[in-house]
Amino acid sequence: MFEISEKSFYGNLEENLNSGNYYRRLQNIEYKITSQNDNINRYGPLLIINHNGKTINFKDTHYGEVTGKKFLILDYYKKDNEILLLEQNWDSAHMFIYNLDFEEYRCKYIDFPNYNSTRTYMLSLVYNDEVVYGSTYNLQIFKIQNNFYEELFNEIIFLAHVWLPFQRILWMNDHEVNIDYGEYGELIIKINDNVNVLKYIPSMLKE
């Protein structure tokens, strides 16, 4: 039997923020979502979403075991009937866009998504690894039509002297996005509406 109270799962929210533990900080994000949406509830290891008269369950199965999974909901896009879902295995964690109407994953292995104003493109910058004098990231661009995500671009980029995933992502318009790293420079990404046509132009990064 599992304890199903909110406190048993989320613990102390203030301690979560100051713990330095990435998963515990993300628990606070889910708590805010469940508190603001009556159709999303957490009962210990069970995450329940009521959508259009049906019940969708995500059950955590990883409790000190080598195998199993944990789930966290990190965003809820009501208008598009989608959620951002974190799935954590014993050795890794990945984010997904999950479609509630069809109960299926639509976009896998991303980080927090960044949409343009018309929600026709989505960018995700996934931390990959630290290397000598910098870090590598997977830069992903998706084209969105009818809630389906078509991957236009997925390549590893190198950022000199940027050891932490700090960035400010700003869409200039529907086809151009700047990723600002402050004193380290910026990435300028131009997205053409043609499939697989994308260029990224890093500025001169300081040595």
Query: Which is more confident, 52 or 133?
Result: 52
pLDDT at 96: 95
- Helix H or strand E segment including 16: helix 13-18
Which tokens in the block code for residue 18? 């100051």
Residue 185 has pLDDT above 90, yes or no: no
> Averaged over 164-188, what is the pLDDT?
79
3-state SS class at 204:
coil
Query: Which is more confident, 198 or 146?
Result: 146
Confidence of residue 161 (pLDDT cuts 50, 70, 90): low
Distance in angstroms (rounded) separating the CA atoms of residues 183 and 22: 26
- Helix H or strand E segment including 18: helix 13-18
> Averaged over 94-118, what is the pLDDT?
94
Confidence of residue 114 (pLDDT cuts 50, 70, 90): very high
Confidence of residue 100 (pLDDT cuts 50, 70, 90): very high
> Average pLDDT of the chain?
82
Distance in angstroms (rounded) separating the CA atoms of residues 39 and 50: 5
Distance in angstroms (rounded) separating the CA atoms of residues 88 and 103: 19
pLDDT at 195: 35
> Averaged over 83-104, what is the pLDDT?
91
Confidence of residue 101 (pLDDT cuts 50, 70, 90): very high
